[in-house]
Amino acid sequence: MNRILLAAAAAALMASAVHAQPMGQRQPPNPDANGDGKVTLAEFKAAGAERHTRMFARMDANKDGKITQAEVDAAPKPGHTAGHKGGKGGQRGGMVTRMDLNKDGAVTEAELTAMTERRFQMADSNKDGWLSKEELPMMRQRRGGPGAQ
């Protein structure tokens, strides 16, 4: 009888933990493609490449290969309908200013790739050329993205 009660309590705890996670948040993808416990720059860039492509397709309204702050502000947030404006708040506010390396008022895919490389270098706290299991969550926490605790 005690075993049944313990099993039921454990199941209830696991179910409540699943429901405690905010809706729409998913676990971040695992960038460690070869499963060796190390994330190299190549793996890190590959993990973000699909997301960058989707972001460009969604935000580059005039399809000129550049994203301006006006396009960022007008673009729907992921998961919202096309009529919903992105607004200037949150992580999107100032996105162009942060990523526009040549200060021309727009972000290109090359600048986005360079930003990815800079994020990798900043996250590699011990400068060994790869990200460990410990360095990845710290990077996500600084960014406030999925997986941040």
pLDDT tens for 110-146 read 998 898 899 899 999 999 999 998 888 887 676 655 4
At 36 the pLDDT is 92
The predicted-structure confidence for 80-90, as pLDDT tens digits, reads as follows 544 444 444 44
pLDDT of 139: 75
| Cα distance between residue 71 and residue 58, in whole Å | 9
Query: Which pair of structure tokens corresponds to residue 31?
Result: 């960038």
Q: Decide the pairing of beta strands 106-108 and 66-68.
A: antiparallel
Which of the pair, 100 or 80, is modelled with greater confidence? 100
Chain length of the chain: 149
| pLDDT at position 65 over 60 | yes
User: Which among 119, 106, 97, 101 is positioned nearest to 51, based on CA atoms?
Assistant: 119
pLDDT in tens, 11-26: 444 444 444 445 555 5
Over residues 86-99, the mean pLDDT reads 63
* Mean pLDDT computed over every residue of the chain: 75
Domain architecture of the chain: domains with CATH: 37-143 (1.10.238.10)
